[in-house]
Amino acid sequence: KKIAVLISGNGSNLQALIDDQTQVPELYEIALVVSNRPDAFGLKRAQQAGIPSLCIDHTAYDSREAFDATVQNVLEQATIDFVVLAGFMRILTQAFTRNFLGKMVNIHPSLLPKYTGLHTHRRALEAGESEHGLSIHFVTPELDGGPVILQAKVAIEPDETEQSLQQKVYHQEHIAYPLVIRWLCRGEVSLADNHVIYQQRRL
């Protein structure tokens, strides 16, 4: 399968997928990396791995619709099977999410439905939570609201800081995201009727 990874920044989750695809080259290939920011470090990661990448700078577009239409066009030209959002910090239009329904996933650093949006680690700490984590979900028009495929939890210790918590969640993200992408590409997980369907692995 051909996947595209959409990023805005560091791209550590992209790196986890770059590393994973070399383990299962017959299963999936990162065919394209798209960033909406020219300075995203993830673009360098893609270049270093020899993966085609481009920046579609959202500041050059008058509207979300125009930006999304350009991204969609690029993805369609590249005949992408799945779109993987990995630290992509733009809200996508309903038209875009509808177009890739069941074919687009996102990773969010909280145990959804708790803490949608930004600064999730800080907010979880401030709320006195005893655990935090990450969610990987299908993308639907509802922001951070699509059906969850997988969650991973981490404990919040008494001396936890925002940074230490972020590191713990990152560590789990880098294991969990490749796992889900493998399921997706094998057809072991899919979206039907706004629900996640799990299919037993064919041996």
Residues serving a catalytic function are: 108
Say whether 13 counts as a known binding-site residue: yes
Contacts of 86 (CB under 8 A, 6+ apart): 5, 6, 7, 11, 13, 14, 17, 42, 107, 177
**Residue at 18: amino acid letter:** I
Pick one of 6, 30, 86, 156: the residue that binds ligand GRF (CB under 6 A). 86
Which of 37, 103, 108, 182 binds ligand GRF (CB under 6 A)? It is: 108
Q: Which stretch binds ligand GRF (CB under 6 A): 4-12, 56-64, 139-147, 181-189?
A: 4-12
Is 91 marked as a binding-site residue? Answer: yes
Is 10 a binding residue for ligand GRF by CB under 6 A? The answer is: yes
Q: Which residue, 183 or 192, has its beta carbon nearer to ligand GRF?
A: 183
| Binds ligand GRF by CB under 6 A, chosen from 4, 5, 6, 11 | 11
Residues 23-82 that bind ligand GRF (CB under 6 A): none
The minimum distance between CB 112 and ligand GRF, in angstroms, equals 11
Positions in the binding site for ligand GRF (CB under 6 A)? 7, 9-14, 86-87, 107-109, 134, 173
